[in-house]
Structure 1
Amino acid sequence: MSGIPHVLAVAGSDPSGGAGVQADIKSIMACGGYGMAALTALTAQSTQGVSAVHAPPTGFLRQQLDTLASDVRIDAVKIGMLGTAAAIDTVSAWLDALPERPPVVLDPVMVATSGDRLLDPEAERALHGLIARADVVTPNLPELAALVDEPVARDWGVALRQVRGLAARHDVLVLAKGGHLDGPRCPDALVGPDGPIATFDDERIPTTSTHGTGCSLSSALATLYARERDWPWATRLARAWVRRAIEAADALDVGRPGGHGPLHHAHALWSGERPPRRSAEPDAWWEDIAALRRELDEVWFVRQLADGSLDPARFAAYLEQDALYLGAYARLLERASELAPDSAESAFWAEAARRCVTEELALHRSYLAPGGADDGSSPHAAAPSAETAAYLAHLERAAQAGDHAVLVAALLPCFWLYQDLGARLASVSREGHPYAEWLDAYGDPGFASATAEAIAWTRRAARAASDDRVARMRAAFETSCRHELAFFAQTGATTP
């Protein structure tokens, strides 16, 4: 598949616009696809519930599907409400007749958010044949219970057992959704026959605007898989998009009190974001440098720092270079503050610059003899090594280009790699450790919080950026990571 993914929603209609094919089309578009729809049922429903369902003849459903498939490329199919056993059999037969079956996401719409049953018993039994033709199935907990013929799960462990059984029965992936559970957390898991392959856990969003959540999530998942070709990442992106659509939903003010309002499907588009992309997620960049992070762990300096065997002279030589780096880094953080698009982000980078000077550089100086290295202003300061000079030159080029998004991406590894290293060294015993204070600084909860915020600001910039700009951001990030590795492993005065 190349270009914009063409995604077909096979589902019922919701005249209120919150669920059904109306929600499907909105979700597909918001996630960067071209949406199409074949109607399986007409409903009379609103935010208050469903009052009637009408199923058109299945012959007409098949005609819709055949006509579309003869003309338009179909990169993914989302199947929602089917209504009757005859409709289910019709869709199954159509999928079997395709020369090449596209990826299929099946949302087994059996129980509406309001609690209304949307499938008759015969159709519920027929649904298992269609599940076997799907790639991913996305039931809520009441639907899952109906599919495995058990009581509705009241805890996450029971839900995972039920969903694994369904996955094994049909050899499919099943997205277990914890939205119907009680409690402050909302866990989800993408589960295969052998168990979970991706797990997610977030705080529950306090809102009644959840009408069409299942429709929207499954359509987003189909669209994002058609683009990303990776089910765990498509799930991750789809969940994040839906959660933000729920968070923004109350602003729409649709329906009377007491009902379930719709999601805000256009929330990201209206705030200037691009459709969800793995390439625009800093977590994906971090995942893709896993080999570099493993290499960093094996650097002699890191190993000797961790076990306390690092020679003090070599540690001092490292701190001299790091002090030179931090002095320049603080000035670059100030530049990021100047370029920031709003006052909140500007304040964050300015505070990071202040902490860099008043806390980190102060810690470095406490390890060094009077007259030793500082931020480069002292006449006794060491000269920058080749590695230090190369790293700073890279950051300076990012700053001189004047592109805020690229600059913060370049600055991010100095937060993230040090925080990650500090967190993993947290288990090192501090008793008698010669570098305990340094280890504590990078394992500090305040530094972890600042790192999370730096990631969040970078993520915001990437989500709004063009593909070309995201590519420059990612390149700047990866280059900084390579410089970090070289900085730790640098030769010269610090050669073991």
Structure 2
Amino acid sequence: MGNRPNILTIAGFDPSSGAGLTADIKTFESLKCYGLAVCTANTIQNDTDFEECNWVGVEVIKSQISILFKKFNIDYVKIGIIQNWSVLNEIIDFLLEKNKNVKIILDPVLKSSSDFNFQKQSLQTESSSNVLDYKFEQILDKIYLLTPNYDEIEMFYTGRTINETVRHISAKTNVLLKGGHRKEMLGKDELFTSKGKYFVLNPKNKNITEKHGSGCILSSAITAQLALGFTLLKSCFRGKRYIEKVLSSNTTLLGYHRI
């Protein structure tokens, strides 16, 4: 593995490899990092249809994490779909036990591109919305970067506007608001840092088509750039350029990673 940094992705398995673990690993490899993977869910899906999500037990997830940390130095972890906020909170605490300085990039996958609602299924396992909010608040205090899209950020605090939600979250952690679902200025990403700074990342490549798993790939690309030593802003910028190349790689829903 030479001098390549190790990155752990904790996410679901997508048989089409457009999203989830395998998309993350392809991204890490393309960006000259070594990807390690822990599976949180086995899904029945392809690039257009989502039928079922089978969650992996939290103890299995923790055992997989544990054996990897015994062997490898892991300073960056990217997290995708998790069963609910309680499980996610437990996993994050476990990661911090293994490495108190680990940087966690959370891509909050609440709904698949084929419109399967993970959030609806997850909420059924939470006792109340108060528990959900409390667990989410705890999570924000422990992660380094949150990368929601416009649809997802609206689901966090239903009683607040997007601007109010962003201000609240960015007081706790860094937020990259992905612009792929914007109604206006499509592709315009916004970075809000926990130190109060604001940056706009405008799209550059116009020759792009929609891709299944593009949010996973962008978050993974940012994680890889961070692991390579770039600053948060530079990592977001370079990650955005990477996903644009994938989006322009062909006209199907499954992008190519040969950059």
Cα 1:115–1:206 shift into 2, 3 Å? farther
Displacement after TM superposition at 1:210 (Å)? 1.9
Q: Which residue is equivalent to 1:198?
A: 199
Q: Which residue is equivalent to 1:245?
A: 246
Any conservation in 1 of the 2:11–2:39 contact (CA below 8 Å)?
yes
Query: What TM-score do you get using the length of structure 2 for normalisation?
Result: 0.87
Query: What TM-score do you get using the length of structure 1 for normalisation?
Result: 0.47
Matched, 1:73 2:73: yes
Any conservation in 1 of the 2:96–2:102 contact (CA below 8 Å)?
no
Identical aligned residues as a percent: 25
Secondary structure of residue in 1 paired with 2:228 = helix
Matched, 1:33 2:42: no
Any conservation in 1 of the 2:246–2:256 contact (CA below 8 Å)?
yes
Matched, 1:163 2:172: no
- 1:170-319 map, 5 Å: 171-183=172-184, 185-193=186-194, 195-202=196-203, 205=206, 208-250=209-251, 253=252, 261-266=253-258, 268=259
Distance 2:221 2:190 in 1: 16
Distance 2:250 2:106 in 1: 25
Secondary structure of residue in 1 paired with 2:166 = helix
Displacement after TM superposition at 1:124 (Å)? 5.4
Secondary structure of residue in 1 paired with 2:59 = helix
Distance 1:189 1:239 in 2: 11
Q: Which residue is equivalent to 1:136?
A: 145
Any conservation in 2 of the 1:174–1:192 contact (CA below 8 Å)?
yes
Distance 2:205 2:111 in 1: 21
- 1:373-392 map, 5 Å: none
Q: Which residue is equivalent to 2:12?
A: 12
**Where in structure 2 are there 5+ consecutive unaligned residues?**
none
In terms of fraction of residues, the more helix-rich structure is 1
Distance 2:178 2:108 in 1: 13
Any conservation in 2 of the 1:40–1:87 contact (CA below 8 Å)?
no
> What per-residue deviation string (whole Å, max 9, x for no partner) do you get for residues 100-127 of structure 1?
3322111011112222211322395434
Distance 1:203 1:225 in 2: 21
Secondary structure of residue in 2 paired with 1:25 = helix
Q: Which residue is equivalent to 2:59?
A: 59
The total of aligned residue pairs comes to 249
Cα 1:238–1:185 shift into 2, 3 Å? same
Secondary structure of residue in 2 paired with 1:262 = coil
Q: Which residue is equivalent to 1:366?
A: none
Secondary structure of residue in 2 paired with 1:15 = coil
Displacement after TM superposition at 1:30 (Å)? 1.1
Distance 1:114 1:204 in 2: 25
Any conservation in 2 of the 1:160–1:176 contact (CA below 8 Å)?
no
Larger Rg: 1
Cα 1:99–1:246 shift into 2, 3 Å? closer
Cα 1:113–1:207 shift into 2, 3 Å? farther
In terms of fraction of residues, the more strand-rich structure is 2
Displacement after TM superposition at 1:239 (Å)? 0.4
